[in-house]
Amino acid sequence: MTGLLTLEKLRAQSQLRIKLSDITQAVMSVVEVAGSRVQSGERPILITTLDEQGLSMLTSLRIPVRQDYKLGFQISINGHKLFLTGECIWQRDEDNLYHYGIRFIQSVQEREALWCKLAGYSHPLLPDRDQIHELYNRMSSVEYELELSASVNLVS
């Protein structure tokens, strides 16, 4: 069973955050302000990092950093279109653009589905990842056994 990527193996590892080598273009719109649904036009954004909790993005738009200002995102990952909702939690000026941090607003099931899509995206980027982890674990256990045997020899 070694070499196979399972959900349990992936989930046991730390949070999956993807720093995109090619900045990915997506579409953003305003979906809610102060609890009221709104209709807005769509604007392109550039996503720089993405995980199941949220994303960071670059845009020329000035967006309020408020919890009652909800944004909708259309993102394509491996040919799958995702529709996500989030709120802006931080903002920085960067040259002629604004850099924003977005926290997704989603159910546990939606978060798990997004995590699986991100895992499917990242695995081909790191094809030897499982083998590297297996090697590291073997090396760690050998080091532990050597330390244990050295401490036993010191006591005797």
Which structure tokens are listed for 142? 């050998």
The predicted model scores a pTM of: 0.62
- Which has the closest alpha carbon to 59: 28, 38, 32? 28
Report the pLDDT averaged over residues 52-73. Answer: 92
Distance CA(57)–CA(62), nearest Å, equals: 12
Percentage of residues of the chain with pLDDT beyond 70: 60
Distance CA(63)–CA(53), nearest Å, equals: 19
The pLDDT tens digits of the residues spanning 122-140 come to 544 445 555 665 665 666 6
| pLDDT range class, residue 22, cuts 50, 70, 90 | low
Counting Cα atoms < 13 Å in the Cβ hemisphere of 70 gives 17
Q: Which residues sit opposite 43 in a β-bridge? A: 28
pLDDT for 103: 94
Q: Which residues sit opposite 19 in a β-bridge? A: 49
pLDDT for 111: 75
As to burial, measured by CB atoms within 10 angstroms (0-12 exposed, 13-18 middle, 19+ buried), residue 152 is exposed
The pLDDT tens digits of the residues spanning 85-119 come to 999 999 999 888 999 999 999 887 777 777 777 77
Q: What is the largest CA-CA distance in the chain?
A: 77
Q: What's at 42, amino acid-wise?
A: E
CB atoms under 10 Å from CB of 128, counted, come to 9
Higher pLDDT, 131 or 61: 61
Distance CA(114)–CA(120), nearest Å, equals: 10
Q: Average pLDDT, whole number, for the chain?
A: 75
